[in-house]
Structure 1
Amino acid sequence: MTAPLRRVTGESGRAPRPPAAPGPGSAPGPRATEDALTAPMPRITDEPRTARLPRVTDEPPAAPFPPVDDETMALRVVPAGEPVGASAASPGPAASPVTPGGRAARRKAAKRRGGRRTGAGPRTTTAPPAERDPQRPLTRVEARRQARLRKPSPATLASRAIGELFITTGVLMLLFVTYQLWWTNVRAHAQAGNATHRLQDDWASGKRSPGVFEPGQGFAILHIPKLDVVAPIAEGISNKRVLDKGMVGHYGEAPLKTAMPQDRTGNFGLAAHRNTHGEPFRYINRLSPGDAVVVETQDTYFVYQVTSSLPVTSPSNVSVLDPVPPGSGFTRPGRYITLTTCTPEFTSKYRLIVWGKMVQERPRAKGKPDALIE
């Protein structure tokens, strides 16, 4: 900062009188020199200077209130009639109209205008609420809002129900397929094996069976060496009594009654499952002419030889069981065998037929035929 001016005074407090200036061409006299040497020294004081030298300038007289310096931070007096926050020399945005009333009235007016205004500045907006402190307990409104958010919508509930229905249906279908393809075979093999052992035990003990058998009663054992099939033969073709138990059924009931192996002529017709429930005839499509099929009874082995087959035919084509079946290649009555099953696999749309003719009749007392020994 610049120090204020100070006035130089003498001991008496009065300003010293300047010596008279000598005239041109004259030298100072001895008296003037003596007065100058004996005059007291001026005293420097801190008293403020009251007199101000006049300023000579061409500028017009200053206004009663000088213009506001934008850089200064000093206070100034606002002239009457000038709005607060504005200057005549530096015009700015118009100030907001003053709302009459107290602070509460001004706040309400600011809210109606869309936000609080500070002077002539831009409109201010309410800051977003800060995140809720997790340690602070929820208010009733917040708790209701969160409960509504956690509650699933009807569309969500419907989609969940449909999804659970599909999953349940899929599981049930999987269990059903497992039951049909695996468990039925396990159970049928066990039942067929028990029936075979029972027949063999009865034959070994000397119990003779009558010539007429009841539906579901076992009376013989079928051997197909090429397919490694050993299955009991029971009377009838009932699913519940015979076929579903893994046994081979004999067409012995009208209107599809066929001959027995010991008959002198006729067609011995048999049926069995190709898939599930023991599936004894699953691979009879692999049989070819010359393959052996043996029927073992209480007293005799009846050996048949495969001659021909019919890959596909209608389920209603019962002529394949005739004494001389058409399409089999047989031309006259004889002792024949017919194997029937469903085709294609895992369906029952069509029937697969295999025919054979008897080539050997061997008593059990003479031992097994060569077809079972090889």
Structure 2
Amino acid sequence: MPGRTLPTFTTAEVKSHNTAKSCYVTIGRNVYDVTDFLDSHPGGSDLVLEYAGKDIADILKDEASHTHSETAYEVLDESLVGFLASSNGTANGTANGQANGAANGKSTGVDHANGNGVSAHPRTGMSCEEDLSKETDFSDDYKKHKFLDLNKPLFLQVWNGGFSKEFYLDQVHRPRHYKGGESAPLFGNFLEPLSKTPWWVIPIAWGPPVAYGLHLANEGFSSTFVQFALFCLGVFIWTLLEYALHRFLFHLDYYLPDNRVGITLHFLLHGIHHYLPMDKYRLVMPPTLFVVLAAPFWKLAHTLFWWDWSIATTIYCGGIFGYICYDLTHYFLHHQNLPLWYKELKKYHLAHHFLDYELGFGVTSRFWDDIFGTELPSVVKTK
């Protein structure tokens, strides 16, 4: 920002900007207005507001949280609004001062793969979760990649795009971020609302049927403990099913038919989530799609346990409860600040997006990744 004249602020003035309506932070003497970034922060706005009006140099370097990439500092570069006044009332800095150097000596020009110890995907160059939420310039992105124009409905662009499978897979796994916290248009018509699902719809839609199913099935048990054990078995079966569906259906990827039918179905089922991973309304499964996927498993459960309806129903309800936990966990991993154990899971799942989508298929846990050898090796647990 050469040549730009920026104002100075007193420490008290910066501290007064500590709300969601006006959120300032500092690094050294640089003052940043990050209000517009609150809703886009991968850890949730609360995590940013915790440091509103304060210096964030230490938290940006805190590996117990996560190491921030240069993308975080690029966001700050764009949010520079002034400088802290020194004791003599002057700004200790220049308009084109180091927006990131004060925090940890990084430069926004650092290459992800320059041997500095930062793990990065060799194709996308992504190295941490901030990369997922860097706002995409729609026009530049379309001119550069000739893939999808985020200004227009996506469905027909995928259907009519004539993309090869190789090109499609390369592009759909390069995350974009839709500006303003809104959802990109998928259909652009009366079908649009059916493609969006707030997270709270999941427990409201499926919690009561699970409770009712367990109530009906309870009549077939002489012991509540036995029913509870079978319910837990259903939850455990779900964890394996979650892993299998994510790995072999959602990431069918290179086994896709190389035609627009296969590519479009992939995009609707899971591709759009990898393309726009921070879209709040396409993080959980729409009820209409869940019914289609869940119905065959109802039939399967009652076929396998044909001799006892109560056993089959209880195990099935356990599976549906496991799904509810999965979808809520998935949403919170993308958009909420979480307790320590979940922070580890959050880093693990987001690395599946920004580091290597061909590994790390567990969402509610990494148990089956460990069992089947698909764990993300570069994601190290916090000591």
TM value normalised by structure 1: 0.20
Give the number of the structure whose alpha-carbon radius of gyration is greater.
1
Q: Identify which of structures 1 and 2 has the higher relative contact order when contacts are C-alpha pairs closer than 8 Å and 6+ apart.
A: 2
Structure with the higher strand share, 1 or 2: 1
Structure with the higher helix share, 1 or 2: 2
